[in-house]
Amino acid sequence: MPREPNVIYIGRKNAMSYALAVITSFAGSDAREITLKARGRAILTAVDVAEITRRKFMKELNISKITIGTEEIRREEGGTRNVSTIEITLTR
């Protein structure tokens, strides 16, 4: 699976680790926007990352777009399960 440029996938690390990744992504390139992607329980962390980064470190950041949705995931024992998803786009 190829990595998308300027996308940070939120998982199980703490919010500050991802906030540092956002700051590094903006500083290391001439990117104008970064997208945070999360699903399930990681959605809470994604919202925290966006707010921590925007309020404490990069006050010029704006949240330009929030997309929510649902993915169907196949279970090993058969059937499917619905998992919520979120994409938060931060722009400079």
Domains of the chain: 7-91 (3.30.110.20)
Contact by Cβ (8 Å): 18, 8: yes
| pTM (global) more than 0.75 | yes
Query: What CA–CA distance (Å, rounded) separates 62 from 24?
Result: 17
Distance of CA 31 to the CA centre of its chain: 15
> At which residue do the structure tokens 């330009």 appear?
64
Q: pLDDT tens string for the chain (92 positions)?
A: 456 779 999 999 999 999 999 999 998 878 899 999 999 999 999 999 999 999 999 999 999 999 999 999 999 888 999 999 999 999 99
